[in-house]
C-alpha cells in the first residue's frame, strides 16, 4: 500500500499490529475490519487506505484475535469478553498513539466494535461510518453459519466459495481471486491465527453482538450507514435496526453489492465517506 507503513504498538500486555498513513496532525480515522478467516487490516482496507491518507491520519489495526497482532495464550470465555477485550484494545491503542479523538470506519464485526466503543467511551469519537455492520443481526444467515464453521473444514475450495459469497459479482476480481485466496489461506493456516478463529466463534453468540436500542438512542455522533443490498452475511435489516434508534444517521444502500462495498463500489464508497468526514454531506 503506497504511503502506508506498518508497526506494532503496545496495548495492555500484548502488541497490536497496525497500518498507518497520512499526517499525524490531521484528523484521525480508525478502520476496523471484519471477522472472516484469514482477515486482517490489510486484506480489508488495502484498496482504500492510500486514498484516505491524502487528507487524514489513518490507522488500521489487526483486531485482537486476528492477523499479526499478538494472539492470546488464554482466550476470552465468551463473545462478550472478546468484545470487551477489543474495546480495550482500541482505547489503549489511541492512548499509546496520543490520539485523543478519532473518526471510525467499521466493517461487519468492526462495526459492532465501533458501536461498543461509543457505548463506553463516546467522548473519544466523532463521526462514524458503519459498513455491513452486525449490531442489529439476530439470526445467522446460512452464509454466516458457513463462515463461523469454516475451521471445521478449512479447505481452499471452501474458502474460495466464501470469498465469492462476500461479493455480489466476483467476476471483476476473477484475475486476482486465486492470489487473494492464497494470501488469506496462508494467514489462516498459521497455528495461532487458526486457534484464535476457532476460539472466537466457539463460545460467541449473535446475542453478544446486539446493541440495545437504549444504547443506540443515546449515541449523538453523526453516523453514515453503508450497506450492500445483496449482503448475505449481514443483511440490510441489521442497518435498518440500527438506523431506527440512532438520532443522527443517514443510510446509503448499493444495489448489486454484497458484504464488501469498499471493494465492489470502491470509488463511490471513497467519495461518499470522504464527503461525510469532510462534513460535506
Is pLDDT at 226 greater than 80 in this prediction?
Answer: yes
Contact 57, 29 (CB under 8 A): yes
**What are the pLDDT digits (tens) for 2-44?**
789 999 999 999 999 999 999 999 999 999 999 989 999 999 9
Q: If one looks up domain 4-277 in CATH, what number appears?
A: 3.40.50.1820
Task: Give the separation between CA 104 and CA 110, rounded to whole angstroms.
Answer: 9
Domain boundaries, the chain: 4-277
Active site (catalytic) residues = 108, 231, 259
**What are the pLDDT digits (tens) for 114-168?**
999 999 999 999 999 999 999 988 788 999 999 989 988 888 889 889 988 999 9
How many of the other CB atoms lie within 10 Å of CB of 13?
A: 8
Q: Which conformational region is residue 20 in: left (phi greater than 0), alpha (psi within -120 to 50 degrees), or beta?
A: beta
Report pTM. 0.96
Contact 233, 108 (CB under 8 A): yes
Task: Give the separation between CA 39 and CA 251, rounded to whole angstroms.
Answer: 26
User: 88 or 136, which is more confident?
Assistant: 88
Amino acid at each position: 500500500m503506497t504511503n502506508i507503513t506498518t508497526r506494532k504498538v503496545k496495548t495492555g500486555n500484548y502488541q497490536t499490529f497496525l497500518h498507518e498513513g497520512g499526517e499525524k496532525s490531521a484528523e484521525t480515522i480508525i478502520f476496523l475490519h471484519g471477522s472472516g478467516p484469514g482477515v486482517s487490516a490489510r486484506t480489508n482496507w488495502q484498496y482504500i487506505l492510500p486514498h484516505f491518507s491524502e487528507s487524514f491520519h489513518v490507522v488500521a489495526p489487526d483486531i485482537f484475535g486476528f492477523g499479526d497482532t499478538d494472539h492470546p495464550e488464554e482466550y476470552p470465555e465468551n463473545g462478550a469478553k472478546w468484545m470487551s477485550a477489543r474495546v480495550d484494545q482500541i482505547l489503549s491503542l489511541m492512548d499509546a498513539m496520543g490520539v485523543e479523538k478519532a473518526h471510525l470506519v467499521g466493517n461487519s464485526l468492526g462495526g459492532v466494535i465501533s458501536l461498543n466503543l461509543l457505548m463506553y467511551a463516546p467522548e473519544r469519537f466523532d463521526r462514524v461510518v458503519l459498513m455491513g455492520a452486525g449490531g442489529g443481526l439476530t439470526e445467522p444467515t446460512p452464509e454466516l453459519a458457513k463462515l463461523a464453521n469454516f475451521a471445521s473444514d478449512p479447505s481452499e475450495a471452501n474458502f474460495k466459495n466464501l470469498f465469492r459469497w462476500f461479493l455480489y459479482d466476483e467476476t471483476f476480481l476473477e484475475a486476482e481471486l486465486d492470489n487473494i485466496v492464497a494470501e488469506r489461506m496462508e494467514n489462516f493456516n498459521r497455528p495461532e491465527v487458526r486457534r484464535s478463529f476457532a476460539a472466537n466463534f466457539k463460545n460467541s453468540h449473535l446475542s453478544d453482538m446486539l446493541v440495545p436500542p437504549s444504547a443506540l438512542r443515546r449515541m449523538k455522533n453523526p453516523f453514515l450507514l453503508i450497506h450492500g443490498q445483496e449482503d448475505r452475511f449481514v443483511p440490510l435489516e441489521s442497518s435498518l435496526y440500527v438506523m431506527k434508534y440512532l438520532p443522527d444517521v443517514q443510510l446509503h444502500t448499493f444495489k448489486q453489492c454484497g458484504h464488501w462495498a469498499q471493494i465492489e463500489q470502491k470509488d463511490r464508497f471513497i467519495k461518499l465517506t470522504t464527503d461525510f468526514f469532510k462534513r460535506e454531506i
